[in-house]
C-alpha cells in the first residue's frame, strides 16, 4: 500500500491548452473522488466514482472538465481550453468499499497554474 498517487505534481500551461491529470488510488479502494482547492480555502468536491461508475458530479464541473475511471482502477481528470480561473490544487482521494469504514485518504495533489 503506497497511498494515493497523483501525477504530475505540478503543471504550468498556457491559457487555452488542454491538460490531463492522473490519480492512482489505494489498491482495493473502490471509491475515488476529485476535489479542487484554491489558496486559503477548503477543498471543494468535483466528482466521485464507485468502481468505474461516475455517480456524482458537482456544478463546479463545467463542460470543459471530464473525468474517467476505466476498469475501476486509476482515474484521469481532463480540463479542456484551460482558463486562468482553473489555477488551483487538484486533489484525489480514495476510500475503501464497505458501509462502516469510509475514511478518505488523499494524494499529494496536482498544482495547476494557467498563464
Partner 1 sequence: KQEVTQIPAALSVPEGENLVLNCSFTDSAIYNLQWFRQDPGKGLTSLLLIQSSQREQTSGRLNASLDKSSGRSTLYIAASQPGDSATYLCAVEETSGSRLTFGEGTQLTVNP
Name the residue nearer to partner 1 (CB basis): 84 or 99: 99
Q: Which spans of this chain sit near partner 1 (rule: CB under 8 A)?
A: 4, 6, 31, 33, 35, 40-45, 48, 50, 56, 58, 91, 93, 95, 99-109, 111
Least spacing, CB of residue 48 vs partner 1, in Å = 6
Name the residue nearer to partner 1 (CB basis): 63 or 103: 103
66-74 own/partner pairs: CB under 8 Å, 24+ apart: 67/34, 69/32, 72/30, 73/24, 73/25, 74/22, 74/23, 74/24, 74/25
Least spacing, CB of residue 83 vs partner 1, in Å = 22
Question: Which residues have CB under 8 Å from 100's CB, separation 6+?
Answer: none
Amino acid at each position: 500500500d503506497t497511498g494515493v498517487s497523483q501525477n504530475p505534481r505540478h503543471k504550468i500551461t498556457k491559457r487555452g491548452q488542454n491538460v490531463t491529470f492522473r490519480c492512482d488510488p489505494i489498491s482495493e479502494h473502490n471509491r475515488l473522488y476529485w476535489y479542487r482547492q484554491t489558496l486559503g480555502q477548503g477543498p471543494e468536491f468535483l466528482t466521485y466514482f464507485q468502481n468505474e461508475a461516475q455517480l456524482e458530479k458537482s456544478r463546479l464541473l463545467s463542460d470543459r472538465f471530464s473525468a474517467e475511471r476505466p476498469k475501476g482502477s486509476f482515474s484521469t481528470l481532463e480540463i479542456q481550453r484551460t482558463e486562468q480561473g482553473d489555477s488551483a490544487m487538484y486533489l484525489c482521494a480514495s476510500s475503501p468499499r464497505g458501509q462502516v469504514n469510509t475514511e478518505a485518504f488523499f494524494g499529494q495533489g496536482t498544482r495547476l497554474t494557467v498563464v
